[in-house]
Amino acid sequence: AQSTWTGGSTPESWSNATNWAASNSPVSATNTQLEFSFSGGGTASTNDLGSFTLNQLTHTSTGTAGKTITGGTLVFASNGATGPSIIQSSTAQLTINSAISIDGVNLVLSNTTSTLAFLNGTLSGTGLLDVRGGVWLLGGSGSGSFSGGVNLSGASTQLVLNANSTGDPGAVTAGPVGTGKITLQGGILRTVNASTRTVNNDVDIDGDVQFGSSSPATSKLTLGGAVTLLGDTNRTVTLSG
Rounded Cα–Cα distance for residues 63 and 152 (Å): 28
CB 159 within 8 A of CB 193: no
90, pLDDT greater than 70: yes
Residue 236: pLDDT band by 50, 70, 90 thresholds?
confident
Residue 216 pLDDT: 59
Which string of b and e fits 103-119 if b means at least 16 CB within 10 Å? eebbbbbbbebebbbbb
Residue 149 has a CB neighbour count (10 Å cut-off) of: 20
Residue 78: pLDDT band by 50, 70, 90 thresholds?
very high
Residues 6 or more apart in contact with residue 233 via CB below 8 angstroms: none
Rounded Cα–Cα distance for residues 134 and 157 (Å): 5
Mean pLDDT of the 222-233 span: 89
The rounded percent of the chain whose pLDDT value lies above 70 is 97
Q: Within its chain, how far is the Cα of 221 from the centroid?
A: 19
Rounded Cα–Cα distance for residues 166 and 67 (Å): 30
Mean pLDDT of the chain: 93
- How do 237-239 and 209-211 pair as beta strands? parallel
CB 68 within 8 A of CB 42: no
Residue 24 pLDDT: 84
Residue 143 pLDDT: 76
Rounded Cα–Cα distance for residues 225 and 141 (Å): 21
Higher-confidence residue of 206 and 231: namely 206
Question: What are the tens digits of pLDDT across the range 160-183?
Answer: 999 999 999 989 999 999 999 999
Mean pLDDT of the 83-89 span: 97
Q: How many helices (H) and strands (E) does the chain have?
A: 0, 27
Residue 139 pLDDT: 87
Could you give the angle at the alpha carbon of 172 between the alpha carbons of 179 and 196, nearest 5°?
100
Residue 85: pLDDT band by 50, 70, 90 thresholds?
very high
Residue 217 pLDDT: 61
Q: Can you give 163-230 as a three-state secondary structure string?
A: CCCEEECCEEEECCCCCCCEEECCEEEEECCCCEEEECCCEEECCCEEECCCCCCCCEEEECCCEEEC
218, pLDDT greater than 80: no
Question: What are the tens digits of pLDDT across the range 46-68?
Answer: 999 999 999 999 999 998 999 99
CB 65 within 8 A of CB 43: yes
Residues 6 or more apart in contact with residue 81 via CB below 8 angstroms: none
Q: Backbone phi, then psi, for 189, in 5-degree steps?
A: -110, 120
Residue 233 pLDDT: 74
Question: What are the tens digits of pLDDT across the range 125-145?
Answer: 999 999 999 999 998 876 799
